[in-house]
């Protein structure tokens, strides 16, 4: 069963609660919250207060928080208090990935690890037995609306083969440039969760876009 996590980065922030309710009503499984610090990535998006407000408006939603920040462990607790259901950090941002996972688990939420396009799957093999999710970036993190990088499909396939071989349960998510064509390649390769921003929130009919992606 493929799950869809619309990225709110492409939503109208002046109307965030209503836009999120619309995609959840249309069948989105969770909300993908892209946090950028202007340091780990060359852009600034949103932070703790926005998540807290959203969580207050939509308390039952599952919040898939993607930290594209330099010090994910330092800020993880504030995001969990604001309503994060799981926290994904970038392996490139930390020195001690196993320690980061432990710190996130200690907050009582699931931990995900993300890899940028230039980071090989081999870099995270030693921690795959500790995470609930791997987020494969199919664009350079920092901006929505970019073109899907096909090399992500091979990474998804490698991760899927590895988890079968080792009997691991982490889910594979893919983020960046996902539409019905690229999303289909990802699900065929073993992805369980599709993150999609512009494809959903910039669509004339977001509900139809959600239905189309979930049907893959």
- Catalytic residue, from 29, 34, 37, 192: name it: 34
Distance from C-alpha of 57 to C-alpha of 61, rounded to nearest angstrom: 10
| Helix (H/G/I), strand (E/B), else coil: 207 | helix
Catalytic annotation on 37? Answer: no
Q: Is 130 in the site for ligand DX5 (CB under 6 A)?
A: no
Q: Are 125 and 165 in contact (CB under 8 A)?
A: no
Helix axes 16-25, 206-214, angle to 10 degrees: 40
Stretch that binds ligand DX5, among 3-11, 50-58, 158-166, 185-193 (CB under 6 A): 3-11
Q: Is 176 in the site for ligand DX5 (CB under 6 A)?
A: yes
Q: Are 94 and 100 in contact (CB under 8 A)?
A: yes
State which residue, 70 or 168, has the beta carbon closest to ligand DX5: 70
Q: Are 92 and 142 in contact (CB under 8 A)?
A: no
Q: Is 174 in the site for ligand DX5 (CB under 6 A)?
A: no
Distance from C-alpha of 2 to C-alpha of 172, rounded to nearest angstrom: 10
- Binds ligand DX5 by CB under 6 A, chosen from 72, 83, 112, 142: 142
Sites of contact with ligand DX5 (CB under 6 A)? 7, 9-10, 32, 34, 66, 68, 139, 141-146, 175-178, 195-199
Q: Which active-site residues does the annotation give?
A: 34, 175
């Amino acid at each position: 069963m493929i799950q869809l996590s619309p990225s709110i980065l492409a939503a109208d922030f002046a109307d965030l609660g209503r836009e999120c309710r619309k995609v959840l009503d249309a069948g989105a499984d969770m909300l993908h919250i892209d946090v950028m610090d202007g340091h780990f990535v060359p852009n600034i998006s949103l932070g703790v207060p926005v998540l807290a407000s959203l969580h207050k408006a939509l308390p039952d939603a599952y919040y898939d928080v993607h930290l594209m920040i330099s010090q994910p462990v330092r800020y993880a607790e504030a995001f969990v208090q604001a309503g994060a259901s799981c926290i994904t950090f970038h392996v490139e941002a930390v020195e001690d990935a196993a320690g980061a996972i432990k710190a996130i688990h200690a907050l009582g939420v699931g931990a995900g690890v993300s890899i940028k396009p230039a980071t090989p799957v081999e870099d995270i093999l030693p921690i795959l037995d500790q995470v609930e999710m791997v987020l494969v970036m199919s664009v350079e993190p920092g901006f929505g609306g970019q073109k899907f990088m096909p090399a992500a499909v091979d990474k998804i396939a490698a991760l899927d083969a590895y988890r079968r071989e080792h009997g691991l349960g982490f889910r594979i998510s893919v983020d960046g440039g996902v539409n019905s064509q690229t999303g289909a390649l990802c699900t065929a390769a073993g992805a369980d969760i599709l993150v999609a921003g512009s494809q959903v929130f910039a669509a004339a009919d977001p509900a139809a876009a959600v239905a189309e992606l979930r049907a893959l």
